[in-house]
């Protein structure tokens, strides 16, 4: 018998915020450990230690995605999200995805000045979206830099429960 072929390696790691319990999932990150020294971060693997700096990953854009926990905004009734306000620094904007009740997702681009200064950006979800629970996903456009301070959703609560 004769065999051959290529095997691709996928790197995956997770980090857990011990204060909030939030989990971060990293892919294509071939390090055994990541350490922080002051304000600098280093990846450690068998052949050495590498400082994690730069705007690209070996010349490729760094695509990033943040997904929030599901929330009912402390109200059991159906809700519509009227506006989403994203506070932070954005290089080329963000795609904001709204997912009501773990169902169909809807994606919108933020509107605002993308000059790298800390400011408010907004996205206007479609009017027909209703749900009790919502989650939100933020994706950087074209791998551009970003720094998120917070995301605020302005919701309209209906009189109808569930």
Q: Residue 5: what pLDDT?
A: 61
Q: Please give the Cα distance from 9 to 151 (Å, whole number).
A: 35
Q: Residue 116: what pLDDT?
A: 79
**pTM for the complete prediction?**
0.79
Report, in this order, helix, strand and coil percent for the chain, each rounded to 5: 0, 55, 45
85-125 pLDDT, tens digit per residue, is 999 999 888 999 999 999 999 999 998 878 878 999 999 99
Report the Cα 126 to chain-centroid distance in Å: 21
6-42 pLDDT, tens digit per residue, is 666 678 878 888 888 888 888 777 888 888 899 898 9
Percent of the chain with pLDDT over 70: 93
**Nearest in space to 29 (alpha carbons), one of 51, 11, 52:** 11
Average pLDDT, the chain: 88
């Amino acid at each position: 018998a004769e065999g051959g072929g290529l095997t691709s390696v996928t790197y995956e790691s997770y980090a857990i915020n011990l204060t909030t319990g939030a989990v971060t999932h990293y892919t294509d990150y071939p390090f055994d450990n990541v350490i922080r020294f002051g304000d600098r971060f280093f990846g450690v693997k068998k052949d050495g230690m590498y400082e994690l700096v730069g705007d690209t990953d070996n010349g490729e854009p760094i695509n990033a995605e943040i997904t929030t926990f599901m929330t009912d905004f402390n109200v059991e009734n159906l809700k519509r999200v009227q506006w989403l306000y994203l506070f932070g620094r954005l290089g080329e904007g963000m795609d904001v995805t709204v997912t009501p009740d773990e169902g169909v997702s809807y994606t919108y681009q933020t509107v605002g000045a993308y000059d790298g200064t800390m400011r408010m950006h907004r996205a206007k979800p479609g009017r027909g979206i209703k749900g009790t629970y919502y989650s939100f996903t933020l994706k950087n456009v074209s791998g551009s830099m970003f720094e998120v301070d917070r995301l605020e959703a302005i919701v309209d609560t209906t009189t109808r429960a569930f």
